[in-house]
Structure 1
Amino acid sequence: MSRTESNYPYRQTISTRWKDNDIYGHVNNIDYYGFFDTIINTYLIRHGGLDIHEGQVIGFCAESHCRFLHAFAFPDDVEAGLRVARIGNSSVRYELALFRAGDTKPSATGWFVHVFVDRHTRRPQPLPTPLRSALEAIATEETS
């Protein structure tokens, strides 16, 4: 997995909040997954047409992983990077990196797998064309 910001075609700045710091004085590990969720869903809504309120297809997290390298602390800004590593019929695997603003090495890296399902039946559904197109736009060369 590449470890530079330029390898992630979609980037978003996410501000840490006062409440993100834990008793040890750094952003708690659970918030890193929140940063992953934020950049992924922002991208899907803005660029893939995902309708989280009334759309027929919704995404469920099937797997996720985070490797912590350096801590964030309030009031750090997080520069989140996103790319797609694999697109299936109804699933997608994202690769992510979180950088402290101004740093060239990530503070965390990870991956996240979404399975898209019918809102009502919860059965896997093929990716809608607009969503698939948006995912292909940020896919790595190895994407199948």
Structure 2
Amino acid sequence: MSKPILKNRDQFKFFLDIQTRWADNDIYGHVNNVTYYSYFDTAANSLLIQKTGFDIHNSEIIGLVVDSACSFLQELSFPEIIEVGVAIGKIGNSSLRYELAIFKQGQPQAAAQGHFVHVFVDRANRKSTAIPENMRDVLIEYLLTD
């Protein structure tokens, strides 16, 4: 299997600092692989909430994760503050692909990187729905740079 092309922090315009927790570590003394997805989810939703004003509790639409992946490049552990970079890889009609990378504090290259895809649906009937223009206009500013 070939190694992914490493992302660096210059490609991202939004970062969220996250403190690793004692419970994040597994028996091997490093952050367990499933926890990285929690970091990704927290950072991507923070971008939506902080930058677009998305109301996760009352909006008529919600984002459901339909695809995700993560490549692990360096170990993380407790205690450590990590910086999760979020960029938008693609904006579709009803879908949004996030490109994410986890950086150790101050490091230029990712310790882990991946993506996940939200499909936006009507909260009540779960049918896909277009991403609102006002949200789309903000998210364009966060497109992944080369």
Q: Name the TM tier (shorter chain).
A: over 0.9
Unaligned runs of 5+ residues in structure 1 are none
Structure 2 residue matching 1:19: 3-state secondary structure: helix
Matched residue, 2:110: 106
Return the alpha-carbon distance in structure 2 between the equivalents of residues 2 and 70 of structure 1.
12
- The 5-angstrom pairing of residues 26-105 of structure 1 reads 26-105=30-109
TM-score normalised to structure 2 length:
0.92
* Amino-acid identity (%): 44
TM-score normalised to structure 1 length:
0.93
Return the alpha-carbon distance in structure 2 between the equivalents of residues 10 and 119 of structure 1.
27
Structure 2 residue matching 1:53: 3-state secondary structure: coil
Matched residue, 2:121: 117
* Residue 5 (structure 1) shift: 0.5
* Residue 134 (structure 1) shift: 2.1
Q: Give the aligned CA root-mean-square deviation in angstroms.
A: 1.4
* Residue 129 (structure 1) shift: 2.1
* Residue 44 (structure 1) shift: 0.4
* Residue 141 (structure 1) shift: 5.8
Amino acid at match of 2:74: H
Structure 2 residue matching 1:132: 3-state secondary structure: helix
Amino acid at match of 1:27: V
* Residue 102 (structure 1) shift: 2.1
Unaligned runs of 5+ residues in structure 2 are none
Deviation >6 Å, runs of 4+: none
Alignment of 1:129 onto 2:133: yes
**Cα pair distance change 1:72/1:141, threshold 3 Å:** closer
* Residue 93 (structure 1) shift: 0.7
Q: How many residues align?
A: 142
Aligned 8 A contact 2:87 2:98 in 1: yes
Aligned 8 A contact 1:83 1:94 in 2: yes
Structure 1 residue matching 2:127: 3-state secondary structure: coil
